[in-house]
Structure formats: structure tokens, C-alpha cells
């Protein structure tokens, strides 16, 4: 008695049963020749050796082919998994929104598109709210929207405002508002004590950073919304892997129009969202 154990997946078992079914139904096998057929998760077929050497060879050959294919696929998946991650920027760069007054993006290469969700901090100087102190400026979490916008370019114009609405509805809870789509964390945007706008993309591999200087600002097409910007490396030696960024598709973030002398020194934080397109 030779026993062939087929202990792979259900798919392999079904494949073998389909291949051997014609043999069993054609009369080549009878109750005396087939000593055991057990249809359970560890299906076993056992045939009398003198009568079925060819069927046994077929079963072995089939299983060997399946095993070889599965092992080859596993090896290929390991190779693919080991390849470095690349952002989905192909074709996306040409879809970046640009207003008149912002420079072209044709001579640089898109690396990431981030959705910034946070606040713009302002301090009252006695007559208006300004951003002149070290505690002023933007403070936002950056989410990686590269792959999402590459596969859903029609969402470029709506993502910022939709996320702002969710952010405000969640009482300014960034984690709770990161839904539909749920985007992976990319880093942080903040201002240093020297008022340098900084983008720390610490979740990238390798980590990237842009310490920026504002080169151009254009009024946003929507009222009461922070400007669209073009920023470049401020060349203080702290940037890594990034040379420029555009702030586009902004939503809100503008301070109240005025404040009185009795409010001098007080601060306000105004919720905003924006897309930051990073280039090298």
C-alpha cells in the first residue's frame, strides 16, 4: 500500500480531485482497488500499488508542479517586498494646481503630496492679529496623500475642504478626522523659534526635511483662506532631500480682521488645511 498525502490548501485538494475524478468514474477504480478516500482538510488518497503506478506518478507530478509554483511565487513576493518604497508621483505632477503668480513646477521633481491639518497661530499686537512671535505660525500634522491623489486626481480640489470640515466637526481632533480616506502619517509642519517654516517628513525613508523661505504668495481663490505659496530651501543647512514646496488648495486659516488694545498679546488659533507639494 502506497499512501500519498496531499496536505496543502483546499485549492490543491480540489484540483487533485478534479483530475482524478474521471479515473474513478470511468470504472478504472473499484471498491477493492481504492482502499481509502478521506475528504477532510488533510485529504489522503491511497491506491493499490500494482494497479495505479501511473496515477500515483500523475499525483506526485501535479503536486510537485504546484509546490514549485507556490515556492516561486513566495520567492518573488520576498523580492518585491525588499524593493525600496517609491511614492506614486508619476503623472501626478502635471495635475498640481497652480495660480497665476506662482512659478512653474516643470524643472523640479515631485516627491510627496502632503495634506496638512492643524492651526494657524496669531498674536494680537493691539490693532490686528499677526504672526511675528516664536509661538506664531502654522502647527499641523502632515498626512501622505500622494498615492491617494495619484489614483483619485479628481479629489485634489476637494480633499482639503472635506478634511477641514471633519477636523472642525471632531473638535479639532486630527486622529478622529483622519477618515475617508484614512491617510498615513508623513510628518509635521511647524515654525522654529526663528520663525522658519519647517516641514519634517520623518516617516519617509530616508527622512526628509525642508527648512523653507517664502518666495511667492498668491491670494487664494476662496475668501478668508490663507494664501497659496511657493517656498524654497532657506539654505541654513538643515534641509534634507527637499528643495521646494507649494502650498495649494488651502482652506480657512485666516485670523479675525482686527483686535483691540485690551487684547494685545493674546493669541488665537485658527483651524486650516492645505496641500503641500514637495519637490527635489
- Quote the pLDDT of residue 24: 43
141 and 273 both lie in a single domain: yes
124 and 66 both lie in a single domain: no
218 and 109 both lie in a single domain: yes
- Quote the pLDDT of residue 4: 40
**Model-level pTM greater than 0.95?**
no
Report yes or no on 87 lying in a domain. Answer: no
Q: pLDDT of the chain along its 280 residues, tens only?
A: 334 434 444 444 444 444 444 444 444 444 444 444 444 444 444 444 444 455 545 555 655 665 556 556 555 555 444 443 445 698 999 999 999 999 999 999 999 999 999 999 999 999 999 999 999 999 999 999 999 999 999 999 999 999 999 999 999 999 999 999 999 999 999 999 999 999 999 999 999 999 999 999 999 999 999 999 999 999 999 999 999 999 999 999 999 999 999 999 999 999 999 999 999 9
Q: Specify the 3-state DSSP secondary structure of 11.
A: helix
149 and 78 both lie in a single domain: no
Do residues 238 and 212 touch, judged by C-beta distance below 8 A?
Answer: no
Compute, in degrees rounded to 10, the torsion defined by CA atoms 210, 163, 151, 209.
10
82, 114, 143: which is the final residue of a domain?
82
14 and 65 both lie in a single domain: yes
- The alpha carbon dihedral of 36, 37, 42, 46 has a sign of positive
Q: Which domain, by its residues, includes 140?
A: 93-279
15 and 147 both lie in a single domain: no
72 and 115 both lie in a single domain: no
Report yes or no on 88 lying in a domain. Answer: no
| Number of domains, the chain | 2
Which residues in 8-38 are b (16+ Cβ under 10 Å) and which e? beeebbebbeeebeebbeeeebeeeebeeee
142 and 191 both lie in a single domain: yes
Q: Specify the 3-state DSSP secondary structure of 52.
A: coil
6 and 104 both lie in a single domain: no
Amino acid at each position: 500500500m502506497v499512501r500519498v498525502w496531499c496536505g496543502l490548501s483546499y485549492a490543491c485538494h480540489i484540483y487533485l480531485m478534479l483530475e482524478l475524478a474521471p479515473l474513478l468514474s470511468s470504472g478504472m477504480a473499484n471498491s477493492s482497488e481504492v482502499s481509502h478516500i478521506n475528504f477532510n482538510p488533510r485529504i489522503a488518497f491511497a491506491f493499490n500499488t500494482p494497479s495505479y503506478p501511473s496515477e500515483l506518478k500523475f499525483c506526485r507530478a501535479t503536486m510537485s508542479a504546484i509546490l514549485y509554483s507556490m515556492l516561486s511565487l513566495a520567492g518573488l513576493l520576498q523580492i518585491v517586498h525588499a524593493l525600496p518604497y517609491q511614492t506614486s508621483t508619476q503623472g501626478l505632477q502635471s495635475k498640481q494646481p497652480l495660480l497665476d503668480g506662482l512659478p512653474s513646477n516643470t524643472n523640479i521633481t515631485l516627491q510627496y503630496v502632503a495634506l496638512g491639518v492643524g492651526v494657524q497661530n496669531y498674536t494680537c499686537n493691539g490693532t490686528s492679529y499677526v504672526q511675528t512671535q516664536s509661538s506664531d505660525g502654522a502647527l499641523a500634522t502632515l498626512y501622505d496623500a500622494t498615492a491617494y491623489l495619484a489614483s483619485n486626481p479628481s479629489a485634489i480640489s476637494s480633499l482639503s475642504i472635506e478634511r477641514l470640515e471633519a477636523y472642525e466637526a471632531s473638535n479639532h481632533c486630527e486622529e478622529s478626522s483622519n477618515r475617508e480616506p484614512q491617510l498615513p502619517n508623513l510628518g509635521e509642519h511647524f515654525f522654529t523659534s526663528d520663525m522658519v517654516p519647517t516641514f519634517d517628513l520623518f516617516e519617509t525613508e530616508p527622512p526628509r526635511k525642508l527648512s523653507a523661505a517664502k518666495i511667492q504668495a498668491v491670494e487664494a481663490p476662496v475668501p478668508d483662506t490663507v494664501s497659496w505659496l511657493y517656498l524654497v530651501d532657506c539654505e541654513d543647512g538643515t534641509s534634507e532631500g527637499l528643495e521646494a514646496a507649494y502650498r495649494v488648495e488651502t482652506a480657512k486659516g485666516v485670523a479675525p480682521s482686527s483686535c483691540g488694545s485690551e487684547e494685545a498679546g493674546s493669541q488665537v488659533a485658527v483651524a486650516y488645511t492645505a496641500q503641500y507639494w514637495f519637490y527635489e
